[in-house]
Every structure is written in C-alpha cells, then in structure tokens.
Amino acid sequence: MAERPIPAEAPYSGAPPTVRAIHARLRHELVTLRLPPATRLSENELALRFGTSRAPVREALIRLADEGFIDILPQRGSFVSRISIGAMRRARFVREAIEISVVRQAATDGLSKAVRADIDRAIADQIAARDDAEKFTLADDAFHRSLVEGIGIAQLWSVLEREKAQFDRVRFLSLPHTTPVDVLVEQHKAIVSAIDARKPDAAAEAMHAHMSEVLKITNTLVSRHPDIIVDDA
C-alpha cells in the first residue's frame, strides 16, 4: 500500500493540548478514517498542528500504537495500520462479555431517571444522525457509555475504549449503508425495554444480538475495502 501524507488540518487554536487531548483527537480521526491506513504520522508535523512540542505527540502516538491503530516501524516512522479483522473479533468478544454483564446488572438494579434520560437522548441523537456516520457513531458511544456509567462503574468505559479500537473502525466503515441504522436503533430500544422490564436474561440476549451485528457484514467489508482491511482472523 502506498504511503499517504497527513491530510491538511487547520492549526490548533488555544493553549497547547495535553497528551490526553491529542490522543483523543487523533483517535477520533483514526476511527472516522480521516487518517486512513498507510498515512505516515510525522511527530514534527503533528507538533506544529497542535502547537506543542514533540514529547506529548510522541506519547499520544505510543498510546495509539498500543491500541493497534498505528504501526511504528524502525528507521521508517509511524504509519496508520490497516484494519485487522482478527483484532476486531477479539475486541467484539471482550466488549460483548463486559456489556452483557452491564445490562444484566442494569436490569437487576434498575437505572436512575437521569441515566434513562441520557439513554433516551442518545437514541434520539442516533435517529437524527441516521445519514451522518460520524455523528451516529458519537451518539452510539453515548448510548453504551450511559449504560456503563449507569451501573456505577464508570471506569469500565475506559477499559472498553482501549479494547475496541478496531471494532470502532469497522463499525464506522459499515455505516450507514452496510449496517442499516434502523436495525441498530431498534436493537438499542430492545436492550432498554428489557432493562426497564427488569429482565436480565432478555437484556443479555438483546445485547448479544446487537454485538453480533458486526459479524454479519465483515466479509462484505473485506471484499469492498481490501486496501484498508486485512482479514487475519
């Protein structure tokens, strides 16, 4: 695959960002494929863009490499990795295990009115963003994050964020045509209905069905995007 340059971006305005802010911004651009596979990530160029030194940029790139977004090649530099189907399947397995436990507990203990309002807002935002993959992805994350935080273990979300890198890129690539948005929204509603009805088994089954959706479209995406996906499952 031919090496790609970093896409042009407006210079960062305001105070120099933290490592966490640089990591979050680059992670978003990697998930949404604004930084596609084979893009060479220059520490110098990124430091100029973010208005900071190379040190926080280097730390952010190391974190992204640990998540599987970046390949650091000796004597060559840092490059955005291709999407790994094997890594996606592993991430889906971990995510499903955690989120099934989350909805089981939510259905057993119930959710507060404030959390339910957050969940309803996230679903409404998903419907409004049905034709915008980037906005839909943010609303989808808000839905799952609200469930995790709703059972009082907010730290779980950071675990999921770290594990689901390749899952996120596949999910984004599938929207909105390969995976119909209406299907995902109805699956979210089914999860919430089971929680509201205090039915842990039904909530777990609804989450399993939702987490399995990505497996239905994997082969289609591999055939459509052989330049950015590696089928190493």
| pLDDT digit string (tens) for the chain, length 233 residues | 556 666 656 556 667 899 999 999 999 999 999 999 999 999 999 999 999 999 999 999 999 999 899 998 888 889 999 999 999 999 999 999 999 999 999 999 999 999 999 999 999 999 999 989 889 999 999 999 999 999 999 889 988 888 887 888 998 888 877 788 999 999 999 999 999 999 999 999 999 999 999 999 899 999 999 999 999 97
Rounded to whole angstroms, the Cα distance separating 202 from 3 reads 48
Q: Are residues 162 and 214 in the same domain?
A: yes
Name residues whose C-beta falls within 8 Å of residue 124's C-beta, 6 or more positions apart in sequence: none
Q: Are residues 36 and 147 in the same domain?
A: no
Pair 122, 154 in one domain: yes
CATH of the domain at 110: 1.20.120.530
Residue 9: per-residue pLDDT: 63
> Can you give the CATH number for the domain in which 54 is found?
1.10.10.10
Query: What is residue 116's predicted lDDT score, i.e. its pLDDT?
Result: 97
The residue count of the chain comes to 233
Q: Are 143 and 115 in contact (CB under 8 A)?
A: no
Can you read off the two tokens belonging to residue 9?
A: 């971006």
Q: How many domains does the chain have?
A: 2
Q: What three-state secondary structure class fits 158?
A: helix
Instruction: Say if residue 160 is in the same domain as residue 113.
Output: yes
Last residue within a domain, chosen from 81, 103, 122:
81
* Six token digits for residue 200: 């842990």
For residue 111, the model assigns a pLDDT of 97
d(CA 182, CA 187): 9
Q: pLDDT at position 5, please?
A: 61
Element (H, E) at 76: none
Six-digit token string for 123: 């679903």
Query: Residue 192 is part of which domain span?
Result: 84-230
pLDDT of 90: 92
Residue 60 sits at the vertex; the CA angle it makes with 56 and 165, to the nearest 5 degrees, is: 170
110 phi, psi to nearest 5 deg? 85, 165
Both 76 and 118 in one domain: the answer is no
The Cα–Cα gap between 192 and 188 comes to: 6
Are 164 and 225 in the same domain?
yes
Mark whether 98 and 65 lie in a shared domain.
Answer: no
**73 plus 149 within the same structural domain:** no
Question: Does 116 share its domain with 73?
Answer: no
Give the end of a domain, one of 43, 65, 81.
Answer: 81
What's residue 11's pLDDT? 58
Q: Counting Cβ atoms within 10 Å, is residue 204 exposed (0-12), middle (13-18) or buried (19+)? A: buried
